Every structure is written in C-alpha cells, then in structure tokens.
Structure 1
Amino acid sequence: MANDLMNRQNDLMDFGAGRFFNRLARSFFADGFQAPEFDDTMRTDIKESDQAYVATIDLPGVDKKNLQIDYQNDILTVSAKSEQKTDERDENDQLVHRERHYGQFSRQYQLPNVDQAKITAKYSAGVLTITLPKSAAATKHQIEIQ
C-alpha cells in the first residue's frame, strides 16, 4: 500500500534505558497523575481503497472546537487539545478536591495523491473520521512490458 505508517509505541527492538524509565514512571504515577481518558497517542486506523483514504482517530474527551486538521505536501496533520476539570464537594457543598488536566497532542500521516478540495471530516462520540479522496491523476497505470 502507498500508506506507510510506523507505530513508535510498539518497537520491540527498543531495549534502551529510556524505555525502561518511561515504563517505570508510567506505572508509578498511573494511579493519579495522568488523565485516564486521554493518553499521549491518538489511536488511528487508516483504510485505503482505490478511491480514497479513510482515517478514523479515537479522541475521547476532546471537544470539537479543540481539533485542527491540516493537509499539506502529502502530510495529514491532526492536532487536539484536551482540557478537563473536576471538582469534589462534600455534603455542605464545600470544595474538597480539584483536578485539572491539560494536554496537547499532534500526529502526522503521509498520505500521497489526495484531492485537497474534497477532503471531509466528521466528529461524533469521540471519534474523528477523515475522508481523503485520491486525485484523478493518482490512479495507477499498469505498464505493459514488451
């Protein structure tokens, strides 16, 4: 396929010290210091057909106004901002505990030969679906060998 994605989170050959300490810190702080609904990656599925690419990206807890999508030089860029505030109050409506989580995330995907004028996006129930129709000039032409 023309789409070549790399998943940096699952690199099985990375046994370095950085990976060890990142995992240690995540497991140590996972119970209260990380926003549980939104981690640092955007879970993405991209399907390719002869007519288009369809990217489906999970973005739970993100408001539609905090999403930005750009396509330039065969690169699709999706950026999201997550802002969450929670308050716990006692029976007298006194503030007992307050949490604020803020995160900004961005991912890029190389998707060549897209008709930029026909790109559409839909956001519903925490799932962003982007349809990128391929340009007519991008159709493959089989060359016969003589």
Structure 2
Amino acid sequence: MALGMPLALRGDPFAQIEDLYERIDQLIESAFGGPMEGMWAPLADLTETDEAFVADIDLPGVKRDDIDVEMSGRELVVTAEIKEKETAGRLHRRMRRTGRFEHRILLPGEVNPEQVSATLSEGVLTVTVPKVEKARPHHVEVKAT
C-alpha cells in the first residue's frame, strides 16, 4: 500500500475504486474546464440495403416523447434526452448517462426525406431512410443467345 493513501482506503478495495473514479472525474473537469455531464453520444450502427439506409441507435431508458428525428438534406439528426430519476436514498455513484444529446449522420447517397420512418423498440431507435428511386440499384437480367 502507498503510504500517502488515506488510512480509510488502505484495506478497502471498493473505497480505492471509488477514489479512482473521483480522481478521474477531477482530471476530466480540469482538462475540459468543467463537469462533462450531459455530453455524450449513443452507440449507433448505419447499414445500407438496396432500398434504404437504416440507423440503429441505442437509447435505453429514453421515452418516445423525448426523441426528435429530423432530416436536413442527406443529414439525419436525432436529438433526445435521458432524464435523471428521483432517488429515495443517498446516491453513491452515478454511472448512467443523463442529459441531452444530438447525434448527426451524413448519409452517403440520395434519399427521400418525406418517407423516413422511425420506431423505438426495446431501447433501440431504428430510423429507416429510403433511397430515391434513381439511386437504387437496378437488376439487369442476362439473357442467353
């Protein structure tokens, strides 16, 4: 054990981990000039089919009414907020993300913004952005002569 460590932390590994979290938070705050609460981005995947681009965005705990989906040209913009829950007791550690975020995805092809659909199921927002007809691949049948 380090001699400079407070006596209360020397034998308790959980207290040592908590101390480490607090030191990391202090380091981040000093590097960025303040707490980083509310600054986060959800995990997301973007896939492409022949007909559309599909974005799957992880939003566990987000209510449907707290999500906004917009199209601006080829850019998909998703904003949402995870609100803090009221706690009855004393909070020891907050690891869940809370606050607002904005997630932007520039789609790599021409799209039809009037036909965009979005569904929220089991904490995953799926946004389907159809391609315009002329951007879809056209299958050409090869004939034998």
The verdict on a shared fold, with TM-score over 0.5 as the criterion, is yes
1:131 to partner: Cα distance:
0.7
- The SS at the match of 1:84 is coil
**Unpaired runs of 5+ in structure 2?**
1-22, 30-34, 139-145
| Structure 1 residues 45-98: Cα deviation after superposition (integer angstroms, max 9, x where no partner) | 11112211111000011111110000012100000111022322xxxxxxx436
2:101 is matched with which residue: 67, 85, 105? 105
Assess if the C-alpha contact under 8 Å between 2:28 and 2:36 holds in 1: no
State the partner residue of 1:137: 134
Q: 1:64 to 1:27 in 2, by over 3 A?
A: farther
AA in 1 matched with 2:73: N
Residue 126 in 1 paired to residue 123 in 2? yes
Q: Which has the larger radius of gyration?
A: 2
* Percent of aligned pairs with the same amino acid: 31
Q: 1:78 to 1:138 in 2, by over 3 A?
A: same
How is 1:1-146 mapped onto 2 (pairs within 5 angstroms)?
24-25=24-25, 40-88=40-88, 96-97=89-90, 102-111=98-107, 112-139=109-136
**Unpaired runs of 5+ in structure 1?**
1-22, 89-95, 142-146
Q: 1:57 to 1:26 in 2, by over 3 A?
A: farther
TM-score scaled by length of structure 2:
0.61
Q: CA RMSD of the aligned region, Å?
A: 3.3
TM-score scaled by length of structure 1:
0.61
Assess if the C-alpha contact under 8 Å between 1:74 and 1:113 holds in 2: yes
Assess if the C-alpha contact under 8 Å between 1:85 and 1:98 holds in 2: no
Higher helix share: 2
CA distance in structure 2 between the partners assigned to 1:26 and 1:107 by the alignment? 27
Q: Which runs of 4+ in 1 moved over 6 A?
A: 26-29, 98-101
Q: 1:98 to 1:26 in 2, by over 3 A?
A: closer
Higher strand share: 1
Assess if the C-alpha contact under 8 Å between 1:45 and 1:56 holds in 2: yes
AA in 2 matched with 1:104: R
